[in-house]
Amino acid sequence: MQNYIKLIFLFQLDDFLFLIQHETMINTLNESHLHKTLKDLYALNNEGAQTEVRIGTSIADIAASNKKIFEIQTGSLGSLKQKCLEYIKQGYTVTVVYPLACTKYIETTDLHGNKKRRKSPVKKNLISAFRELTSLTKILLSRNFYLDIIQCQICEERIEMMEPVQSQNHRRHFKKTWLKTGKKLEEMGKIITLHGKSSYKKMIPKNLGENFTTRNFYENLKIDFPEARKNESDIMVWVLWNLGLIERIGKKGNSYFYSLKKSPIKKIMTET
């Protein structure tokens, strides 16, 4: 697979036509303001950092000293799974940077070039990010894998179309009269780094009983994360179970019962 494409520009000067050919990286063609800003920021803060570096069969957003790789992902984290696995197998330490839109604005440019801005009703919180982790459970606990979740305010840019159209990724079930053109980073907040079991255990509610259901988990989770929704909490439980941090101990009807997974040492102490 080629990672460069050739752009051809044709322009006229007086009575002569000029043809310019320019090679450019595929990865940077549709790079949003959000992606570029975070990439530049992480490159600036890591020694020996270079951007758009070929590593094996892939192109890394940032490669720094001491075999460190940084991938900025503004979309689905699942699409990075294979890429991260390849890096880790080659001995690299991988940090995935995921901007979480806790506040989101939508700016639409109409057919006359006028811009309208509104606040999106959709709000995300740290628990919302667990939906993106479902496809990465096999690498989340790798000692060479880090996840930086950046709480931020972003602006999604759109353009108005004359008639309903399909999205650029062809995922719309119904055509709409606008297209996304980019994302802008407007504010950066707290950065939460997840690495290893302890970082995930810290997010488990403190007041859970010895055994609990997803309902018990959600009710206790809301104490620290009041904006968390029930479906997000259920996904978090599923991720924790797949990571081996909690275990299923039974089922009643459609509800599973869980308990915190204890270390072998604690089990022996309990038995004695």
C-alpha closest to that of 195 among 148, 129, 250: 148
For the cut 80, the answer to whether the pLDDT of residue 271 exceeds it is no
pLDDT score for 172: 82
**CA distances for 175 relative to 122, 159, 167, 223, 246, angstroms:** 21, 14, 7, 40, 42
Q: Given this model, what pLDDT does residue 140 score?
A: 97
State residue 168's pLDDT score: 80
Give CA–CA dist 133/200, Å, rounded.
12
Distance CA 137, CA 118 (A): 36
Between helix 214-224 and helix 230-242 the angle, nearest 10°, is 110
Residue 27: its pLDDT value, please? 52
* Largest separation between any pair of C-alpha atoms in the chain: 95
Neighbouring CB atoms inside 10 A of 202's CB total: 9
245 pLDDT above the threshold of 50? yes
Strands 68-72 and 115-119: unpaired
pLDDT (mean) for 43-59 = 94
Query: What does the pLDDT average to over 51-71?
Result: 95
What confidence tier does 248 reach under pLDDT thresholds 50, 70, 90? very high
CA angle, residues 95, 86, 237, in degrees to nearest 5: 60
- Mean pLDDT is lowest, of 19-23, 39-43, 88-92, 126-130, for 19-23
Q: What is the pLDDT of residues 155-173, one digit of tens each?
A: 999 999 998 888 887 878 8
Instruction: Report residue 13 CA to chain centroid gap.
Output: 46
pLDDT at position 261:
77
Q: Range with the lowest mean pLDDT among 49-58, 75-84, 170-179, 185-194?
A: 170-179
Give the model's confidence band at 264: pLDDT under 50 very low, under 70 low, under 90 confident, else very high.
low
- Rounded Cα distance, 170 and 168, in Å: 5
Which tokens hold the place of 86?
């390849």
